[in-house]
Structure 1
Amino acid sequence: MSRFELPAEAVLRAREKLVLDHFHDEVARDWDATLSTFPHPHYELIPMMRVHDGDSEVREYYHDTRVAFPDQDHEIIAFRHTVDAVVVEFWLLGTHLGPLGKIPATGSKHRTRMTAYFVFDEQENLVTERIYFDQLSILKQLIGGLDKKNPKDLLTIGRAVVGLLAMSGGETDPRLENTTPPDFIE
């Protein structure tokens, strides 16, 4: 298929249903149903340059994010179809009640605008969920509501900054660095 041709309407409708079911099942915490939308679960978190590949890594990602934000939810802003993907813009919402990596719970709420690319292969299997967002927006919201005059909140802010710095030194997944430019010759 040409990069200028969208698939048939029936294909686009099937992709849309699968992605909407995926979103619904994530909010419902039905991990088996969510993971069944992939033949092989694969998440790419671009801000951190991290990949969660396979059932156990993706389940661990789900666990860790729901410990941090037990009430995690979303509001879809826009839904777009491309030749090989569905692109969803959405607000991710949650209350920070548990550790987020090495960042301690702040009790603050966040509402962060994100974009997710749900990429399909030639057989119409979902092969990747690639997520883009601004980490600083989340951190700003998580510590922004704390009282800078309260010693306890100042300690939390300090721990959050130290936790963020500790998390920022991780290895970049080479699968996200080793990219090939598209071939524009037809």
Structure 2
Amino acid sequence: MSTTPTAAAHLPARFVLPSEAVLRERERLVLDHFHDEVRQDWDATLSTFPHPHYELIAQMLVHDGDAEVRDYCHDTRVAFPDQDHELIAFRHSHDAVIVEFWLLGTHNGQLGRIPPTGSRHRTRMTAYFIFDENEHLVTERIYFDQLTILKQLIAGIDRRRPRGLLKLLGVLKGALGAVGSAPDPRLTNTVAPNLDN
């Protein structure tokens, strides 16, 4: 069922999709963003935003602004130099492109407090690329399960050898050290949507 412009004018914004041209442009921008991340071209990646802003829901962390997002991108590529994506699905909403994908990488560098394990992970994720009323990308909000990644990183450690046990201890110590950080209030102080209109 298509919505005529007259009928759409009476609907709340959340029920009205933008034109096909807008949806295609959003999708192109998000695909460029993914490709630029894999190439580690941070200038191109961050140029998709007027103000770079990443929200990592699993960790309740926000990286806001050019410097913070660049640091996050750098740190993740130190940990996973070969990081890549396998796209699963694209969906559109009135204000976002929603992407399901596999994130892949080999843990060859320090990941926060977790020492490198040499293990590979393949983790299913969802990212919301949120656009404002002027069609500017304003947020990349990423949902994933940290335990799924950690289990895969630990699985590759040879626990039959002393060196493997020491590595496992280092990983567990690093993971537990990251648990105590307070969640970012920008992610916890939420307001319920108005669904009355």
Shorter-chain-normalised TM-score: which range?
over 0.9
TM-score w.r.t. structure 1 length? 0.99
- CA RMSD in angstroms, aligned pairs only: 0.7
Per-residue Cα deviation, 1:49-91 (whole angstroms, up to 9, x for no partner): 0000000000000110000000000000011000100000000
The answer to whether 1:136 aligns with 2:171 is no
Corresponding residue of 1:54 = 65
Q: Which residue of 2 aligns with 1:8?
A: 19
Indicate the residue corresponding to 2:103 in structure 1: 92
2:41 to 6, 30, 33: 30
Distance 1:141 1:150 in 2: 18
Moved over 3 A (4+): none
Q: Distance in 1 between the 2:193 and 2:74 partners?
A: 35
Of the three residues 107, 111, 134, the one matched with 1:123 is: 134
The gaps in structure 2 that reach 5 residues or longer are 1-11
**Where does the alignment leave 5 or more consecutive residues of structure 1 unmatched?**
none
Q: Which of 168, 171, 174 lines up with 1:157 in the alignment? A: 168
TM, length-normalised to structure 2: 0.93
Number of aligned residue pairs: give it. 186
Distance 1:110 1:6 in 2: 36
Q: Distance in 2 between matches of 1:32 and 1:145?
A: 34
Which structure is larger by alpha-carbon Rg, 1 or 2? 2
State the distance in 1 between where 2:111 and 2:183 align: 19
Aligned to 1:32, the other structure's residue is in SS state helix
Post-superposition offset of 1:164: 0.4
State percent identity of aligned pairs.
70
2:185 corresponds to 1:174? yes
Q: Which amino acid aligns with 1:28?
A: R
